[in-house]
Amino acid sequence: MTKQVRNTAAKSAVIEMLTVSKTALSHAEIYHQLQSTCDRVTVYRILDRLIEEGAAHRIALTDGTVKYALCEQCGEGQHHLHSHLHFNCLQCGGVSCLESEIPKVQLPRKFKLHDVSLVVNGICASCNV
């Protein structure tokens, strides 16, 4: 298999993984599930590509962990904005997209907003039994 074909296959595998998963996945989890069909750098490249294409987005947790999720609740097309909140389950560690939008932030004059990292901590439905 050529490198190109292998990378395309790996990319589809990553999309599939994120589609099936109910929670966002970290680079390590994705890399692990690919079972060394491609190296760590390739996995980062695939994820970067998906983000560029507006197919996925990054979720930065307060502890420094970065997770990836497919874009479903993001605005479509030109107005693609990952402006929704994320939920972090304190019990299972599962991170998922919420439908709630990030509240509008009022910034002082001359301040420029890049992005807002807001994570809601709590207990998810599967753990809350």
Site track 13-52 with Zn ion (rule: CB under 5 A), x = hit: ----------------------------------------
Give SS3 for 49.
helix
Minimum distance from residue 8 beta carbon to Zn ion (Å): 22
Q: Are 40 and 31 in contact (CB under 8 A)?
A: yes
DSSP states of 89-102 as a string?
ETTT--EEEEEEEP
How far does CA 48 lie from the centroid of its chain?
Answer: 11
- Which residue type does 121 have? N
Size of the site for Zn ion (CB under 5 A): 12
Q: Report the C-alpha gap between 125 and 121 in whole angstroms.
A: 13
Rule CB under 5 A: say whether 57 interacts with Zn ion.
yes
Measured from the CB atom, is 39 or 126 closer to Zn ion? 126
Measured from the CB atom, is 26 or 37 closer to Zn ion? 26
Rule CB under 5 A: say whether 74 interacts with Zn ion.
yes
Judged on CB neighbours under 10 Å (0-12, 13-18, 19+), 22 is: exposed
Rule CB under 5 A: say whether 70 interacts with Zn ion.
no
Q: Which of 50, 71, 88, 95 binds Zn ion (CB under 5 A)?
A: 71
Rule CB under 5 A: say whether 95 interacts with Zn ion.
no
What residues make contact with Zn ion under the rule CB under 5 A?
57, 69, 71, 74, 82, 89, 91-92, 94, 97, 124, 127
